[in-house]
Chain A
Amino acid sequence: MALLKISEPGKRQSAINTKPAVGIDLGTTNSLISSGYRGNIEVLADTSGQFLLPSVVRYGKGVRPIVGWMAKEAAIGDPQNTVSSIKRLLGRGTSEVENMPQFEQYTFDASRDEGAPAIITEAGVKDPIQVSADILSELLSRAHDYIGEDIEGAVITVPAYFNDAQRQQTKEAANLIGLPVLRLLNEPTAAAIAYGLDSKEEGNVIVYDLGGGTFDVSLLCLKKGVFEVLATGGDTALGGDDFDYILSNWIAKQVYSDENPILEERGRLIAYANSVKHHLSLHESADLEFNNWRGSLNRKEFLEMCEPLVKKTINTCRRVLRDASLSVEQIDNIVMVGGSTRMPIVRQALESYFGRAPLAAIDPDKVVAMGAGIQAEVLAGNKSDNDFLLLDVNPLSLGIETMGELVEKIIPRNTTIPVAKAQEFTTFKDGQTSMIIHVVQGERELVSDCRSLARFELGGIPKMVAGAAKIRVTFQVDADGLLSVVAQELSTLKMSEIQVKPSFGLDAKAIEEMLRSSHQNAELDMELRAIKEAQIEGRQLIDAINSAREIDGDLLDELGHNHLDNLMHELSENISNGTIEEIREATERLNRVSSDFAASRMDLHIGHALKGEAIDNIDR
C-alpha cells in the first residue's frame, strides 16, 4: 500500500508523487509541451513568451541543430538543410517519399533502399526519428526551465489514424533522448480529456480538428471517466493551407490577368494570403495591397470562396454521425482543435450544422497538449482521482476473401476493440483438402480494391463434397489494434492461425483514399459483385459437370458429350468476356441440357444403392 505524503503548507500541492510529468503535442507544423506547474496544467512558453514551437529543424555544419522559429525563417534561404513536416515521413518507407512533392527540395540518402527515408544535410544524414528527437529535445529543455531536470516521463499525442510503425517511431524518437514514454495518446482523445475532465463535461462530443494540412473528426462519448470512441473520419489532404491556396488564387486573379504567377511570386502570394486570412479571423474586412495592386475583401466574400472546403468538413461530420447512428440533436459538445478552427467561417458553419456553438474556452492550438498534460499527471500518479478508460474503435473494416475475389466483412469499421468475431465458411470444390485464408482491410467489395494484410493456409480438411466442410474463421482485434486470425475445420478441429498488424503500412492517406473510393464505387461494386456471382455460378456448373463426367461419362453418347462440350465452351467464353445477361443465359442453357444427364446419373446410383453397393463407391 502506498503511503500518502503530507506536504508542508506553502510547498507544491501536487506532491503525491515525487516527479512531474509532461504532455507533448508533436505536430506536423507546430509542437507544444505542457506540465503540471503551479498546481495547474499549463502549456509552457519559451523565453519570448511563445507557446508554439514550429516543428522545423535546421542542420548547419558544425553547429547544434536549430529548432523552431529561427529554423522556420531559415527555411527560405536554406531549404536543403532545413527540415519541416517530418511527421509526414514517420513510419514511411523510402519508396513512398517519391510521391510527396513537399519533400522535393531535400536530397535523400540513396544508399538506404529499405527502411526510413533519410535526408542528407550539412550536419550529416538525418532520419525522421532523429529529426523528431531534436524537436522533442528542444521542448524538453523548455520544460527543464520550469520544472527542473528530473522528469518522470511524457505522454505524446499521435493522430488517431497513426499506424503501428508510425507509433513505434514516435516512441523511438523519445527513447533517443532518454525520455520515457508513459503513453501514446490519440489527439482527439487528448482534446476531449482537456475539456471533459477539466470541466467535468459528460455526453457526446464531436472533436473537430482542422490543422494546417489535415482534417480529423472523432465522435466520443464521455461518461464517468470512460471515453468511448463511437466513430472517426477525416481527410488527410485538407487543412488551413487549402484556404490560403484558394485565397492566393483569388488575389492572383486580381493582380495578374491569370491565376498562375511566376513561381517566386507564388510563395509570397501564399504567405500574403495567410496573413489576410488571419486578419479576417479578427476583423470583418481587410484592405489588400500586393505589388501595385490595391483592393479589399470582407468575411462574406471569403466565405463564398471557401464554402466548398467548409462543406466538405461538414459532410465528414455528417458521415461520422451516421456511422454512430446519432443525430445532431444528440451532440452535446463540439471541441475545436487546430489553428484553422479560429476562422469565423468554420465556427459559423459548425454552429449552424450542430445548432450549438462550439466550445472555445481552450485555445485550439493548445487543447491537445493540455489533454496530454492531464493524462501525464494521471499516469505519473499525480492525479489519482481522475481514473479514466479509453474505449477505442478500429478505423477500417476487416474481412476475408471469398469465392470470386469478393470480400466478406467480418469486423466492420468503428467496432469497439477488443473484439472477437467468427464466421463460418465452406469449401468450393469436391474433395478440397485445404483452404487459403486471405485477410483484407477496407470498405470495398472486391479484394483487389482493399488492402491485403495476410494470407495463410488451413490444410488437412477431410475430403467432402463442395459445401459440406465447415470452417470457422475467427478474427480477434486486441486493445492495441493488433489483429489475429484463426481458422478451424469443425469436424477435425484442425486449426491454423496468424497474427497481423491491421494498420501496418496503411497510412492515413491510404485509409482516406480507400474510404473515399468505397463511397464513390458503392454502385459500381454492386454491379461487379453481381457479375462475379454469375461467373462463380457458371464455373461451379462447369466443374460439377466435369467431375460427373469423369465418373459417369459412359452414360452419355458421343452426341451428348459434344453437346455438353459446346455449351460448356460457350459458357466459359462468356464467363471471360460476356455481359452478366450472357453469362446467365449460357448457364441456364447448360443447366437445362445437363439436367437429363444428371437425371440418368441419379437413376443409376439409386439402382446401385438398391442393389446393396456401398454408398462410398457411388461417389468415388
Chain B
Amino acid sequence: MSVFVDLETRLLVQGITGRDGSFHTRQMIAYGTKVVAGVTPGKGGQPFDGVVPVFDTVADAVRETRANATVIYVPAALAASAMYEAADAGMGLIVCITEGIPVLDMTKVLPYVHERGARLIGPNCPGLISPTQSKVGIIPGNICKPGRVGVVSRSGTLTYEIVHQLSSNGFGQSTCIGIGGDPLIGTNFIHCLSAFQADPATDAVVVIGEIGGTDEQQAAEFVQQGMTKPVIGFIAGQTAPPGRRMGHAGAIISGSAGTAAEKMAAFAQAGISVMKRPADVVPLLRERL
C-alpha cells in the first residue's frame, strides 16, 4: 500500500519529447514506473525511444492505453492548457512539475480540475514516489527506500536531504510527496495527511513546510483533531527576511504573517514533534515510534 501512486499507476507523460520530459521519462522507466503513453501535439505516432507510444492529445492516449495518471513537463506558458486537457480527458491524478505558472492562471485551473474530480499535485513540485512501486516526477529514486514513513513537503532538494537521512538510518518510506512551492497548489498538507492517516502501510508522517501562507497552521489543526499517527515537522526559513520571495513564489512572509516561528509554534501546540534542523528527523522519529 501507499498513497496516490502504486503498482496500479499507468502513467502518461505530457511533454514527453521535450528536454526535461524525455530525460525524466527515461529515469521513471528505469525506476520501474509503468509509463504507458506520451503526448506531444504533432508528434503522435512516433514512439518515444521506440517503446512508449506517443499521441497528439491526452484523450487519444487515454482511450488507447487506459492511462490513469499524468505528469506534466511542458513549459510554463503551455502548462495551464495541459492541466485543462488532462482534466477533460478524465485523468484521476495530474502531477504538474512545471515551475513559473502565473498565479492568476491557477485561480482558473484549480476549480476546473477539481470539478472534474481530478487530484492535482503541484504545480512547481518534484512529484511523488512510492519506493519500488512507482515514481512520478523528478525525485531521485536512489535516495528512497521502501518502508513505513510518509513524507510530504513544499520543497524539492530539502525533501531529498531529509529522505536521505531517513533512508540512511533504516527508515524507509511509504510515499514521498512534493506538493509544490507555489501559493496556489492543487493538493495541500491536509489532503496528504489524511491519505497517510488512512493508509495502513504508513506508521508516521514527516511534514516539511516553509515560510509563507497558513497551510502549516491548518495542517497542525488537522493533526490535532484527526490524526492518531505520530507527525514530525520542519519549517524552512527561520532566517528569511519579511517581504522577500525566497525562491519559491509561495515562500514569502507578508507583513508579519507566515513566519517560521509562528508555524513552528502551531506545530508544537498540535503535538507535532518539531525539528530544529534536518538531522533531527531520525532521533525524533525514534522517540515517537
A, B from the same assembly: no
Partner-B contacts on A (CB < 8 A): none
Partner-A contacts on B (CB < 8 A): none
